[in-house]
Structure 1
């Protein structure tokens, strides 16, 4: 019997929990399972294939059915991808000719002739009123019959599934890894952690849960299981209350707090009382969310529980009946008096906050003595700052060069992005260099020793995942700012969406820009054919799901940048539709095949974000003529309706310039630090596996690594971030 949580393990780790059951002659079924996996771009490791071969045929078949369903969904092959033009990418018509055919067809239709004639008399025709426009004109089976079979190529993606341990051990390990992550998880990661926390509440727990959102999710499960809560700030209690109300544990979005059962109220109040009793200064944290505390007080009724007076103090501060000066307020007061040295000294009590304030403090310092005091304060407390904050500040300082007049790119936690001029004066160069040296030394000290480093060169330009919110869930997805090679003659984007209730029209487009970020051309429903490629045709309604594709011949592309985007023309948003995802495939010209071939999919990511225009990634042509993907994971606000590539060209170009010209902190930075302590360093050639244990860092886990090896791939790249 396959465990219902196995899909979580496969998606997060590319490991298949060790199947159990009667032994037998499962070799034939195992090979068939492997062949079926290869058709969607996956494969069993040699160890896993051998293990399955020793089990009964029934066990192998049950495992295969469940696993194939999971990996098909991961790659986007769980739905049918039809196209408007059945021969796509062949025989895509000229846009104007196609529109004329649609109008001609409508004029021969008794039901639409009068309406079209009336529109023609005004000189404008609404395409959406034409019967032949926007809806599939053939079945999925009829479309498949028009395409030759895909010819296998050496460059097709092959993702290896490895043999895991017992399913409960794998679940416990995944839970500890997610709960103890040093970087925030994305929405999907938090949702999976919630499931795992409920399942693993009585099992092994991480030694530390540094991310507050993760702690809230874990506390929710512990409360339900009757275990003790993990609280060390009053805000931990507020986050837990939001989790219990089904709200936002990040506290970025308002939560409608629910009435809670008496047991939950008692647990929250007791937790609050203990936190404040141990450290009364933590009452100052209430100011950041005063209104939410007031609403929570109305739900908890602290006056009914006189045994917890310190908890009542929290709500007294929120109502303004009790004074609790915040650290931020005291710092602002000192800076208002131009006492930068005093502000830096005060912030030493909160090392992370001091490091996040360094840029401002150094710009506020009026003398060299003050600047020295700020840097000295940072050097004194650097050991108390989380690795994620150290890396964020290191990246920030690297991009704060002496020049001014650059563009600043802001991206919020939801992926909403905007650009503005950078009017700040520069950070003084001597202090900037001194701080960078201190950061490098501290990070080098924290990185674990590795006797033998095995490094895949393709991973070196992957951005460090300082926040899981900078990455969408999916297959082959890398953190925002990452660069990855793109090898193949044909590049094909795809988008799929299925509306929940209302008619919804997503439009896949591609903007082509030159080296100066000026528009060269674009492909969209308004421009179906260009020298570079073809658009599969506009679908305007998706009650049963719909797909659109863009096919590009990379050798023919004019310009230096390709920016695919998904515009919402009408209907439900990315967070409202039942399902939506974007991805791209790479093929050689002779491969043929269906419009969607899972073996050729290099990346597939969920579209779940604010705004009405999605920018998943861009493609950059280097000086050597080779193309690379630059990962964006961004959303533009757009308009409520009728978003088109033509209308957002300037905004997209400006945003892309800001992203491309900013240097990210990548895996290369950390591996350079790690090589100072490694005895042996090997560049992975894709073939030879060292005999002994290694620390492997790469895009895909090689088959045959020593069982004692430490393995870091995009699935657990967060493990590279020092504690």
Structure 2
């Protein structure tokens, strides 16, 4: 019995690790199996993949055909389960109006039909009559409103099969190495990432770190959150901790309590076992013993350290006096002088030169204080000191920070007198007036020139760089939190072309405990960001398209759709949004995701067809109104997507598109008019540095190894080529 359980556990772990590799790298680990005749099973596997918009690469199909039939079948079952979930095809997408997008009624006509049916219902009739007498009726009290009136199978029977089209999505799965090699490579890439990871990727890193604890480790951990997740896995497996600051121990404690390792949100620390307490205290003691000045970092997160001390009981462990010192500082029993406090004292005395001199010992902090220093400087001489210091210490600053400041400076000239958009790490956004003094243009230009030179110096110089033009407008992923997990997702601020005649949005959610009602809506704005119209449960049918109908309860999962004819859209912008009308937050629901499909006008099919899905992203943000992306029509009539990944706070309940038109329009304006650093910016610097940059041409695949940057890995590249796609775009960010 135990052997069966062990085998089941092993099989489950193999599936989970394979799934991680597929989702992050679109690579199929090569099964370890004897040779056989699996060609028939491999072709069937490929056909099944194509039905949901995926396909095996030529090499993968060839190699699988040479394995045993059983191995291919087992691989197919696991892979299909993963890719179906990636695209949102693992659930049943029903619609309220069975013929959607055909025969969607006028909104008022539909509501009157629901009232009529309620009056014909003996149980519902008295309550409806009472409401009618008041002149106001609650749609949610009508028996036929908000609940599916047909089964999923009945809905399928009402639709013809999907007509294949050239534009249908086909995502190629390439063959990888052994599972162990692929998992190790993925672990090293995530753990050693130069940019912060999103919550979903941090969770994946935790799984990988536990599996790879005894294997190769990154030379450095540029992002502290990654180190915390890795330390949590090492602690669980009994391996030594990797700590070099007192804050590393605090982040680890947050990870162990299921809290926020970025320290942006307070964590409620759990009771910790004695072995865990000993490990944390020993780690703190060794850090402070080696560098006593590091105890000053406690003051940055004093309250969190005080609460952690209540869980660790340092007084019980006199053998670690330096750890006890940490909590004495947190409680105010021992004084410590922070670096930031010294900087503030100098700026408070208007000593900009002294503050700059001090900040040069912490180059990253100098960069983050740059704008304030330039605005505080009273003379050009002081501003020259600031700029000179930035030029001098730039080589010591992380690539992500240099790029962030470069992007900021690019937009700084245009921000005076306009709105500023603030976006926190969780994607919550708000807008405020820009009241800052302007930065002198000469100083701004000098800084931009210096930062461009520094970034260009750090970029690789491949002999030949091949670039897909469609990726040039993709924003650099300076933070993994600037994008949601999912398929076909690009970083916030990216622009990508939209080719198709019919645009269809979808949302799916499944409530965990409470009745939950999410509402999919689409706001249409003109070039001045004024409302033209909208599609929602209050406006089921417009010139532009149709809404599939309102579902108000999702114990078994629910879906809503919006169909738009792009040629009929009146306006410049389309802004899809998901409003929480009532019930569970996005993070509380058992599952919730958004996506969009593109179809040709003549295509039929079901409301949800996996191979027409262009993007599917998880909805797990903190607000009650989700804004995944927006669509903009160019002057030539073409459409492009602008990726947002934003959440508005919204109201505690009853959020509707009619109530957030102004806030959405204001936020959209701020995002659209702000320019991000893109892949095109980096490739331009590489070209200026002497790299031979050519555009990708599928008819002329290079013979030898190249560095390729594109939206997906093409067939036929030399196996020694370096390939950068959205899945590993963070590798472009120099250290």
TM-score normalised per structure 2: 0.97
1:567·1:644 contact (CA, 8 Å) conserved in 2? yes
1:453·1:678 contact (CA, 8 Å) conserved in 2? no
Q: Does 1:269 align with 2:281?
A: yes
Cα deviation code 1:81-103 (max 9, x no counterpart): 01011111011010111111111
> What is the correspondence of 1:378-389 to structure 2 with a 5 Å cutoff?
378-389=390-401
Per-residue deviation at 1:261?
A: 2.6
Q: 1:331 aligns with which of 343, 350, 355?
A: 343
Q: Which has the larger displacement, 398-407 or 463-472?
A: 398-407
**Map of 2:54 onto structure 1:** 42
Q: Does 1:24 align with 2:39?
A: no
Cα deviation code 1:640-663 (max 9, x no counterpart): 111110010000000000000101
Q: 1:250 aligns with which of 256, 262, 275?
A: 262
> What is the correspondence of 1:555-634 to structure 2 with a 5 Å cutoff?
555-634=567-646
CA RMSD of aligned residues (A): 1.1
1: CA distance, partners of 2:273 / 2:657: 51
**Map of 1:182 onto structure 2:** 194
2: CA distance, partners of 1:508 / 1:632: 16
Q: 2:709 aligns with which of 697, 700, 709?
A: 697
Q: 2:549 aligns with which of 503, 516, 537?
A: 537
Kindly report structure 1 stretches of 4+ aligned residues shifted beyond 4 Å: none
**Map of 1:421 onto structure 2:** 433
2: CA distance, partners of 1:21 / 1:401: 61
Per-residue deviation at 1:298?
A: 2.2
Cα deviation code 1:309-340 (max 9, x no counterpart): 22222112111122111111111111111001
Cα deviation code 1:617-665 (max 9, x no counterpart): 0001112211000000011111111111001000000000000010111
2: CA distance, partners of 1:111 / 1:457: 63
**Map of 2:183 onto structure 1:** 171
Q: Does 1:314 align with 2:326?
A: yes
Cα deviation code 1:65-124 (max 9, x no counterpart): 110000000000000101011111011010111111111111111111111111111111
Q: Does 1:711 align with 2:723?
A: yes
Cα deviation code 1:171-201 (max 9, x no counterpart): 1111110000001100100000001111100
Q: Which has the larger displacement, 118-127 or 224-233?
A: 224-233
Q: Does 1:652 align with 2:664?
A: yes
2: CA distance, partners of 1:499 / 1:110: 30
Q: Does 1:506 align with 2:518?
A: yes
SS at the partner of 2:162?
coil
**Map of 2:114 onto structure 1:** 102
TM-score normalised per structure 1: 0.99
SS at the partner of 1:400?
helix
1: CA distance, partners of 2:698 / 2:676: 26
2: CA distance, partners of 1:143 / 1:686: 41
Q: 1:208 aligns with which of 183, 203, 220?
A: 220
2: CA distance, partners of 1:628 / 1:83: 27
1:450·1:678 contact (CA, 8 Å) conserved in 2? no
SS at the partner of 1:529?
coil
2: CA distance, partners of 1:307 / 1:469: 40
Q: 1:442 aligns with which of 454, 463, 468?
A: 454
Q: Which has the larger displacement, 314-323 or 559-568?
A: 314-323
Unaligned segments of structure 1, at least 5 residues: none
2: CA distance, partners of 1:455 / 1:716: 15
2:415·2:434 contact (CA, 8 Å) conserved in 1? no
Per-residue deviation at 1:228?
A: 2.3
1: CA distance, partners of 2:283 / 2:653: 47
Q: 2:565 aligns with which of 542, 548, 553?
A: 553
Provide the aligned length of Structure 1 versus Structure 2: 723
Unaligned segments of structure 2, at least 5 residues: 1-10
2: CA distance, partners of 1:569 / 1:332: 45
1:586·1:602 contact (CA, 8 Å) conserved in 2? yes
Q: Does 1:116 align with 2:128?
A: yes
Q: 1:92 aligns with which of 100, 104, 107?
A: 104
CA distance 1:584–1:246, change in 2 (3 Å): same
Q: 2:296 aligns with which of 278, 284, 287?
A: 284
Per-residue deviation at 1:613?
A: 0.6
1:245·1:257 contact (CA, 8 Å) conserved in 2? yes
2: CA distance, partners of 1:624 / 1:41: 30
CA distance 1:679–1:374, change in 2 (3 Å): closer
Per-residue deviation at 1:403?
A: 6.0
